[in-house]
Amino acid sequence: MVPDTSTVDASRCPLCGAANACAMEVQRATGTSQPPCWCLEANFSRELIERVPTAARDQACICAACAAAGR
């Protein structure tokens, strides 16, 4: 069964719901070229990534605050 991704907001962190400031999502949504996203330099622990709901994996970025806090 394929997870329902229709309710995932790619501009929001799947862990806390805050805006994730993902430059790649801004570019996809607006068509306006963006500088490289902050997340390309971030380290996300396996534990943090595993906390992302299945439907949101590879659909929405974790925000900088959650990444920094390891939430």
> How far apart, in whole angstroms, are the C-alpha atoms of residue 21 and residue 51?
19
pLDDT tens profile 8-66: 999 999 999 999 988 998 998 899 999 998 888 888 899 999 999 999 999 999 999 99
Whole-model pTM over 0.85 = no
> Cβ contacts of residue 39 below 8 Å, gap of 6+?
22, 24, 61, 62, 64, 67
> How far apart, in whole angstroms, are the C-alpha atoms of residue 20 and residue 60?
8
User: Sign of the CA dihedral 27, 32, 33, 39?
Assistant: negative
What is the predicted pLDDT for the residue at 1? 41
What is the predicted pLDDT for the residue at 38? 86
- Closest by CA position to 71, among listed 14, 33, 11, 3: 14
